[in-house]
A and B are shown apart, each in its own frame.
Chain A
């Protein structure tokens, strides 16, 4: 929030002298007030305006014109600063970036958690007895064997990670837009297919590669066979999905 002194404001066919302008760049809102009373200590709201992203803004000396409003700043420098704030898409972009960042960790959290289960299954396939021994410290005897008990507990924690991811997506969807969320979920599914391939032995398939290319995150082969490392390699590619794009 930044406040400017205005020599005058023309709005709604009227002219108001000696006003203050408070600009909320993130919300793209402008609040114009004027001082009234004998000692000019009381502030009265003149206008509470929201600027659209594409609204044209013109600077003429110390005057800024946009829509049906003319703001007369103290000087030309202040006028240009107000103009840039109103025109710049940066505030919106920052907001989207922040929201995307908020969903990144839950998405990574889900895929990392899933990698733990996949790693266990790969081990169960290649060296089943060692896999059972590895999970035996947490075996409480609730199920007939440690593998079943581990997978039952794991499915609960995976469901929690999934819920966190979907809640986080729902919270930011209005700001970042449905297409951005869909792209992220599409990436999550591709990563899941890749993880499953480590169990079935198909690994990084052409289908996954082609789809990642479509998503614009790079379809180069991941030859790493360690599940956690290969999942991290996949996550590193996802940066473009979490970078700022204007909300559509």
Chain B
């Protein structure tokens, strides 16, 4: 701001409004050394994708990690030079710091809700988990390997989930066999694949991300950091009859060896028309009282939507973390025995 010889400051003008003296601008130019302050708005949600196409439709920031013929880094894409025959350890040891630096550059951690959507069997999944900033409200939503996956896939999946849990991230696992079941019940325009189904699940989950994060953070406070994801996309009560049946069907989808009595928390997020709210809330209450009464916490949240008919439902089951790791343990061990670098202990 210029000032006159009598020391009166004022905004742009030739003469002082107070005393009429000539204003001097010599010192005022020094104030131009200060630039206006800006508070960048990084958005509520940031998502990192590995082995699954980004769900751009749901908004928020997204970046995809992949490998290809050349190195590329941009706001929305990070492509590593392909390593022929590369294991998760090769990518992890070569690029972990570099990718963490890139996530820092794009301010991934500045968003409130942070998601890693990964095919855990992808060799890049471990690198992604390791590079994520260690911050609260970070969830790994993983399509995990199952008994039908190869030992190498099981090994990568086991290490990625273990790494996420060790770093304190919430883990929401969708076993590959469940992704295949979704596949069977959808009318996909594209050639069917578990990754395609997982991508649809991701889109649906992002639509309910605030509610989801709230439930997961609440579970974290009671010591539950691992969850199984049981999704139903475009479901219809004409098929299930009543809402309670939906949950009964889902109880059969628990991993082998997991009894309903082992369920620590049990939550459901439903996106449906207004008229179905009461049906789902009552069905959930019935199922809970009958089957998972011992659960430490149970809640059904319904988000009403205009389009009628079908519903999307995501049941999030809090379990002991070993329940999902058990499924991959044999494959993990078989590979780790032959190649010691492919052990969880190789992670820094």
Contact = CB atoms under 8 A, between A and B. Distances in A.
A214 B33 CA distance: 24
B348 interface: no
Contact of A199 (B36, B75, B104, B107): B36
Contact of A162 (B2, B22, B30, B105): B30
Contacts of B22: 182
Interface stretch (B38-46, B50-58, B84-92, B192-200): B38-46
Contacts of A108: none
The 3 closest A-B pairs by CB, nearest first: A128-B40, A185-B25, A211-B12
Contacts, number: 97
Interface of A: 110, 114, 117-118, 121, 124-125, 128-133, 136, 139, 141, 145-147, 151, 155, 158-159, 162, 165-166, 169, 181-182, 185-186, 188-190, 192-193, 196, 199-200, 207-208, 210-211, 214-215
Q: Is the interface of A mostly helix, strand, loop or mixed?
A: helix
B36 A193 contact: no
Nearest to A117: B35
Contacts of B284: none
The winner among A158, A189, A190 for most chain B CB atoms within 10 A is A189
Interface residues of B, number: 31
B40 A196 contact: no
A182 B41 contact: no
B28 A199 contact: no
A189 B38 contact: no
Interface in B238-270: none
A132 B33 CA distance: 21
Given A146-B105, A147-B40, A133 B12 contact: no
Contact of A166 (B23, B29, B42, B74): B29
A136 B36 contact: no
Nearest to A141: B101
Contacts of B23: 186
